[in-house]
Structure 1
Amino acid sequence: MNKRVYIVFILAVLLSASCIKQKEKSDMMRFEVFETSKKGNKLSKVTNFKRSDSAVSIVLKPESTLQTITGFGGAFTEASAHLLNQLSKGNRDTILKAYFAKDGARYSLTRTHMNSCDFSLSNYSYTPVEGDKTLEHFSVEEDKDDLIPMIKDAMVVSEDGFKLFGSPWTAAPWMKDNNSWVGGKLLPEYYDTWALFFSKYADAYKAEGIDIWGFTVENEPMGNGNNWESMHYTPDEMTNFVQNHLGPKLEADGKGDLKILGFDQNRAHLKDWVDSMYKTEASSKYFDGTAIHWYDSTYEIFPQELQDAHHKAPDKLLIQTEACVDSEVPKWQDDAWYWRKEATDWGYDWATEENKYLHPKYAPVNRYARDIIGCLNNWVDGWVDWNMVLDIQGGPNWFKNWCVAPVIVDTDKDEVYFTPLYYTMAHFSKYIRPEAQIIALENSDNDLMVTAAKNTDNTIAVVIYNETETPKSINLLLNENTMEFSIDAKAIQTVVIPN
Structure 2
Amino acid sequence: MRLLRLAAIAALTFLPSITAALAEGGVSVYLTTPDGTKLLSQEPSLSFSQVDKAGITIDASRRYQEIVGFGAAITDASAYLINRMEPSAREALLKELFGRDGGLGFSFTRLTIGASDFSLQHYSYDDVQAGARDPELTHFSIASAKEDVLPVTRAALAVNPSLKIMASPWSAPGWMKSTDSLIKGALLPEAYPSFAAYLNRYADALAAEGVPLYALTIQNEPHFEPGDYPGMRVTPESRAAFVGGYLGPLLSKTHPEIRILDWDHNWDEPQSPLTMLSDAKAARYVAGVAWHCYNGEPSAQGKVHDAHPDKETYFTECSGGGWSPKWSDALPWMAGSLVESVRYWSKGVLFWNLALDENSGPHKGGCGDCRGVVSINSKTGVISRNLEYYVLGHASRFVAQGATRIESGTAPEGISAVAFRNPDASLVLLTVNRSSVNKTLTVTDGVKSFSYALVAGGVATFVWH
Would the TM-score normalized by the shorter structure come out above 0.5? yes
1:15 corresponds to which residue?
none
Secondary structure at the aligned position of 1:167 is classed as: strand
1:114 corresponds to which residue?
113
Secondary structure at the aligned position of 2:270 is classed as: helix
Are 2:315 and 2:350, in contact at CA under 8 Å, matched by a contact in 1? Answer: yes
* Matched length: 435
Shift of 1:56: 7.8
Q: Which has the higher helix share?
A: 1
2:272 corresponds to which residue?
272
The C-alpha deviation readout for 1:382-431, integer Å capped at 9, x for no partner, is 21110000011111111152211120111211211012220111111222
2:427 corresponds to which residue?
460
Query: Gapped runs of 5+ residues in structure 1?
Result: 1-25, 331-336, 341-362
Secondary structure at the aligned position of 1:424 is classed as: helix
Q: How does 1:262-301 map to 2 (within 5 A)?
A: 262-280=262-280, 282-297=281-296, 301=297
1:478 corresponds to which residue?
445
Q: What amino acid is aligned across from residue 332 of structure 2 in structure 1?
A: N
Are 1:29 and 1:483, in contact at CA under 8 Å, matched by a contact in 2? Answer: no
The C-alpha deviation readout for 1:292-319, integer Å capped at 9, x for no partner, is 111115xxx241x222100111011111
Secondary structure at the aligned position of 1:288 is classed as: strand
Shift of 1:283: 2.6
Q: How does 1:32-181 map to 2 (within 5 A)?
A: 32-39=28-35, 40-47=37-44, 57-102=55-100, 103-129=102-128, 130-158=132-160, 160-181=161-182
Shift of 1:379: 2.0
2:199 corresponds to which residue?
198
Summarize the Cα distance change of 1:256–1:400 in structure 2 as closer, same or farther, 3 Å threshold.
closer
Partners of 1:148 and 1:161 in 2: CA distance: 16
TM-score (norm 1): 0.82
Asked if 1:323 corresponds to 2:302, the answer is no
2:19 corresponds to which residue?
none
Are 2:184 and 2:231, in contact at CA under 8 Å, matched by a contact in 1? Answer: yes
Asked if 1:248 corresponds to 2:249, the answer is yes
Secondary structure at the aligned position of 1:134 is classed as: coil
Aligned Cα root-mean-square deviation (Å): 2.3
Q: What amino acid is aligned across from residue 112 of structure 1 in structure 2?
A: L
2:218 corresponds to which residue?
217
Query: Gapped runs of 5+ residues in structure 2?
Result: 1-21
Partners of 2:406 and 2:351 in 1: CA distance: 23
Partners of 2:340 and 2:248 in 1: CA distance: 32
1:345 corresponds to which residue?
none
TM-score (norm 2): 0.88
Are 1:476 and 1:483, in contact at CA under 8 Å, matched by a contact in 2? Answer: yes
Q: What amino acid is aligned across from residue 487 of structure 1 in structure 2?
A: L
Summarize the Cα distance change of 1:448–1:416 in structure 2 as closer, same or farther, 3 Å threshold.
same
The C-alpha deviation readout for 1:317-365, integer Å capped at 9, x for no partner, is 111111102465x9xxxxxx5413xxxxxxxxxxxxxxxxxxxxxx221
The C-alpha deviation readout for 1:448-471, integer Å capped at 9, x for no partner, is 221111122221110011234544
Are 1:288 and 1:317, in contact at CA under 8 Å, matched by a contact in 2? Answer: yes
Partners of 1:415 and 1:323 in 2: CA distance: 24
Are 1:452 and 1:461, in contact at CA under 8 Å, matched by a contact in 2? Answer: yes
Identity of aligned residues (%): 28
Q: What amino acid is aligned across from residue 406 of structure 1 in structure 2?
A: V
Partners of 1:196 and 1:134 in 2: CA distance: 9
Shift of 1:80: 0.5
Are 2:375 and 2:384, in contact at CA under 8 Å, matched by a contact in 1? Answer: yes
The C-alpha deviation readout for 1:261-316, integer Å capped at 9, x for no partner, is 01111111112322322443x2311000011111115xxx241x222100111011
The C-alpha deviation readout for 1:128-181, integer Å capped at 9, x for no partner, is 2442212123110011111111101111111x5211011001111111111111
Are 2:75 and 2:112, in contact at CA under 8 Å, matched by a contact in 1? Answer: yes
Shift of 1:491: 1.6
